[in-house]
Structure 1
Amino acid sequence: MPAWRRLLLFARLSRPLFLIGGALLYGLGAAIARYNGHTVQLQLLLLGQGVVTALQLMTHYLNEYEDAETDADNPNRTWLTGGSGVLGANGLPRRTALNAGLVSLAVAAVLASLLALEGVRGAGSWLTLVLIFLGAYFYSAPPLRLARSGYGEVTTSLVVAGLVPAFAESLQSGSVSWLLVLSTAPLAALHFAMVLAFETPDYATDARLGKRTLMVRLGWRTAMRLHDAAIGFAVAAVLFAGLNGLPQSVMAGSIIAFPLAAAQVWQMHRLRQGFRPQWRSLTAGGMALFALAAYLELVGYLLAG
């Protein structure tokens, strides 16, 4: 296989599109610290982002390694779900994903050490980082394998939409504000809904091969209703936050995403009614809703600051 093709396959294995979400949520935490009157220290900002990205890559690689068999047998894989599709006889060796995951973990450890050398001593920052690592590592890795237990969906949503911005804010301010909780609660719910949307095309394959995701454990109809409930909770959480101190610019931006939220619920409703599945539209809609909501919150805080 030519070197250029190996590099291309490795880039696909890394799932760079998903790294954008981590950057948005990390940036949101830093923007909230800035809004609260703290000066953003660039070196801490970049080192923290480096740690988050390295741990995110570790999660991608280890998940690809653990799910290689399931992903290879999935007829409904989309460009967002069912793995990257690059491992196997005509692609990269499965071991490549494991090695890349271990290297990413080592990079995260080095960057965390540099944070310590920068003088980050707050217990809150380090506790948050440890929780991020535990959630990221055990999402796919034994003995917990959260992605196969029915607990991975909640865990990854709390890590990505809650702990990552909390880590960013605590690095800059030394603490986590109530405003961050108000801002990230809707995003955690939207991330959870996105993960359920991602699991929908994989449902039959996961059930057949014994991968006990939350959708498999609950059954597809119940899980689809839970998806809709999560989006409803996100809308209610935005309205609650607006009444309890959320900046007007952030509130206005969040409301912009409401029509897309309604469209996502409509798509899932049609699927429950037996209409032909539009997997790409469903999964892309779930990701677009979460990413747009996070982006609009970030922009709202930057404008408010």
Structure 2
Amino acid sequence: MTKVIEADRGFQVWWHLTRPHTLTASFAPVFLGTAIAATISQHDINFLLFFAMLMASMLIQAATNMFNEYYDYKLGLDNENSVGIGGTIVRHGVAPKTIMMIALSFYGIALLLGIYICAASSWWLAVVGLICMLIGYLYTGGPIPIAYTPFGELVSGAVMGMGIVLIAFFIQTGTVTWEAVLLSIPSMILVGGIMLANNIRDIVGDTEGGRKTMAILVGRERAITILSLFFIVSYLWIIGLIIIDDISEWGLLIVLSLPMPLKAITVFRAHKAPKDVMPAMKYTAQTNTFFVFLLGVGLLVGHFLS
């Protein structure tokens, strides 16, 4: 019985290391890009490519989280009281080099999946994929980590939000269209919002650690306002596409996700302690997941009913 409990705890340690609440930032864009391909471009979907892309994206996201854990520990930013981290190093005594080896192993598996995707679509994707993997490493690694600058939201949004949507679209269609670009913009904004929410929560610790994130530069209250604008623009963007008849009214399914951003902003306004604003992190991540998923579903329903 003791061994079962210990094994369960061991699994939980490694599961938390991946920071599962962030993995939706890779799942949702893959689904959206594939839905756009099935509707706007009316291509038959290659489900093997879809699942390969989905797995590769989630592995890269998990590895990026591990790089974050590793380098934040090395720079002295994480301790056993830090919130929002996997905690495998500072709380559970896992060797930092083990974290790095797991992250690189995930990259290796993603690379193999990428080779399959390229062979089935285009080898130009190899260049794009390697750039995405490099950015994932440089986000918290390298001489000037991107996460320590005001550009973390922009880079993460462009790569994990828009980039994944367009790659998922390309491997199904062999091209990238303006329609796909326009529909990927809310995903880009909302993934950037996840990073901004993270930086709002960590604003005190990041300031002490020498980071220069957007939240630090503009201040906590303005950062919360910017996050609110991220949410507002995302919803208005899709409503605008419906008004100009670029997509069907089924795109309005996104309004079902509205409670999530409202809760996120409410929590951020009411609390400041990192532990107390953790629900806001969850709601922000859920906004991205439900919004993008509902948009994809709306596109599919509108297509099949037309």
Q: TM-score with structure 1 length normalisation?
A: 0.86
**Corresponding position of 2:30:** 26
Q: CA 1:283/1:116 → structure 2, altered by over 3 Å: closer, same or farther?
A: closer
Contact 2:21 2:282 in 1 (8 A): no
Deviates more, 1:194-203 or 1:31-40: 194-203
Q: Matches of 1:231 and 1:105 in 2, distance apart?
A: 31
Contact 2:78 2:90 in 1 (8 A): no
Q: Matches of 1:74 and 1:57 in 2, distance apart?
A: 22
Q: Matches of 1:188 and 1:89 in 2, distance apart?
A: 33
Q: CA 1:280/1:89 → structure 2, altered by over 3 Å: closer, same or farther?
A: closer
Deviation of the 1:22 alpha carbon: 1.3
Q: Are 1:121 and 2:122 counterparts?
A: yes
The residue correspondences of 1:1-305 to structure 2 (distance < 5 A) are: 4=7, 5-35=9-39, 36-68=41-73, 69-72=76-79, 74-75=81-82, 77=83, 81=84, 83-88=85-90, 90-118=92-120, 120-121=121-122, 123=124, 125-244=125-244, 245-250=246-251, 252-270=252-270, 278-305=276-303
Q: Matches of 1:148 and 1:172 in 2, distance apart?
A: 35
Contact 1:30 1:45 in 2 (8 A): yes
Structure 2 gaps of 5+ residues are none
What letter is aligned with 1:54? L
Contact 1:182 1:246 in 2 (8 A): no
Contact 2:201 2:274 in 1 (8 A): no
Q: Deviations over 1:82-133 (max 9, x none)?
A: x112213643222221111111111122222222333x2263x445434422
Structure 1 gaps of 5+ residues are none
Deviates more, 1:253-262 or 1:159-168: 253-262
Q: CA 1:71/1:246 → structure 2, altered by over 3 Å: closer, same or farther?
A: farther
Q: Matches of 1:198 and 1:14 in 2, distance apart?
A: 15
Q: CA 1:259/1:287 → structure 2, altered by over 3 Å: closer, same or farther?
A: same
Q: CA 1:224/1:167 → structure 2, altered by over 3 Å: closer, same or farther?
A: same
Q: CA 1:199/1:40 → structure 2, altered by over 3 Å: closer, same or farther?
A: same
Contact 1:9 1:91 in 2 (8 A): no
Q: Matches of 1:15 and 1:206 in 2, distance apart?
A: 19
What letter is aligned with 1:132? C
Q: Deviations over 1:159-188 (max 9, x none)?
A: 121011111000000112222222221222
Q: Matches of 2:81 and 2:23 in 1, distance apart?
A: 24
Q: TM-score with structure 2 length normalisation?
A: 0.86
Match of 2:49, SS state, is helix
Q: Matches of 2:199 and 2:55 in 1, distance apart?
A: 28
Contact 1:21 1:291 in 2 (8 A): yes
